[in-house]
Amino acid sequence: HDLVAIHPYSPLEDPYSLYPHSLRNVDELCASIVRSHRETTQYRVEELQALRWKVLSREEIQVYQSKSVDEMWQHCAIRLTDAVQYVVEFAKHIPGFRMLSQNDQIALLKTGSMEVVLVRMCRYFNTENNTVFFDGKFAGVEVFKSLACGDLIAAVFDFAHDMCALKLTEQQIALFSALVLINTERPCLEDRSRVQRVQRSVEFGLTHILHRDNQESLMHKLYQRMAVLRSLCSLHMEKLRWFSQRYPLTAHSLFPPLYKELFA
């Protein structure tokens, strides 16, 4: 397993993961999740804000649009895999995550990492012109035309737009991402009750900060968004199956191993 190879199990690096219940208080749990979010997001929000003027030119859009289907898929698969690797890093530092069996860690990442990438996408999204920071510049839906999955792209952009409307703080995004990842409903879990303990503590943390921010009503909306995330990910899988059937060679030999391991 690539996931295991890249991220060897080493509980000693993170004392909290050994004793998730010894967390002195919920503040400490939240602080720890917020810290790992901060340390694993490629760009800070202020940096992205400052880059907003960088929008792809007509000519640059043309270059993406004239790529072949398999070229563009390979390109996007590489970008997605980069983003997923940061999410794996984030997961490792959620208190309690590394107490789970390797199998359960992988099961959670298999279904949750793409969802967290999509949650994180709202930080990279500019609602003023509906563009996402991609390859160093802001790109609209038309840039992804040659993927030949317009419905997926439109749904992903809609989701990012709706997430932006919630105007979440970085701390809220961090706790929500952790909750998306630590989910007892994922298939193939060995020790559901252990996952449940971790899930409860993260839920408690999210409730705590929403209460502190006087935004308890967000909880309900966030749970609704989790259902949308699930449907987006199954659409992504469906498109990937379609693509792999048509371009088996690209899917087999040119996609990053981690992408194949997670989604194939």
Shortest Å distance, C-beta 134 to ligand MHQ = 5
Residue count, binding to ligand MHQ (CB under 6 A): 20
Shortest Å distance, C-beta 171 to ligand MHQ = 17
Q: 33, 132, 210, 229: which one contacts ligand MHQ (CB under 6 A)? A: 132
Shortest Å distance, C-beta 118 to ligand MHQ = 7
Q: What is the 3-state secondary structure (H, E, C) of the chain?
A: CHHHHHCCCCHHHCHHHHCHHHCCCHHHHHHHHHHHHHHHCCCCHHHHHHCCCCECCHHHHHHHHCCCHHHHHHHHHHHHHHHHHHHHHHHHCCCCHHHCCHHHHHHHHHHHHHHHHHHHHHHHEECCCCEEEECCEEECHHHHHHHCCHHHHHHHHHHHHHHHHCCCCHHHHHHHHHHHHCCCCCCCCCCHHHHHHHHHHHHHHHHHHHHHCCCCCHHHHHHHHHHHHHHHHHHHHHHHHHHHHHCHHHHHHHCCHHHHHHHC
- Using rule CB under 6 A, residue 239 touches ligand MHQ: yes
Q: 91, 94, 147, 178: which one contacts ligand MHQ (CB under 6 A)? A: 147
- Using rule CB under 6 A, residue 76 touches ligand MHQ: yes
**Spatial contact of 91 and 108, defined as CB atoms under 8 Å apart:** yes
Residue number, 23 or 237, with CB nearest to ligand MHQ = 237
User: According to CB under 6 A, which residues from 77 to 96 bind ligand MHQ?
Assistant: 77, 79-80, 83
Calpha distance 210→17 (Å, rounded): 24
- Using rule CB under 6 A, residue 120 touches ligand MHQ: yes
* Nearest Cα to Cα of residue 29 among 42, 45, 41, 17: 17
Shortest Å distance, C-beta 18 to ligand MHQ = 29
- Using rule CB under 6 A, residue 56 touches ligand MHQ: no
Residue number, 15 or 150, with CB nearest to ligand MHQ = 150
- Using rule CB under 6 A, residue 117 touches ligand MHQ: yes
Shortest Å distance, C-beta 156 to ligand MHQ = 5
User: According to CB under 6 A, which residues from 169 to 228 bind ligand MHQ?
Assistant: none
Q: Would you state the structure tokens that stand for residue 245, as one six-digit string?
A: 């059937």
Shortest Å distance, C-beta 249 to ligand MHQ = 16
Residue number, 132 or 218, with CB nearest to ligand MHQ = 132
What is the binding site for ligand MHQ (CB under 6 A)? 42, 73, 76-77, 79-80, 83, 117, 120-121, 124, 132-134, 144, 147, 149, 153, 156, 239
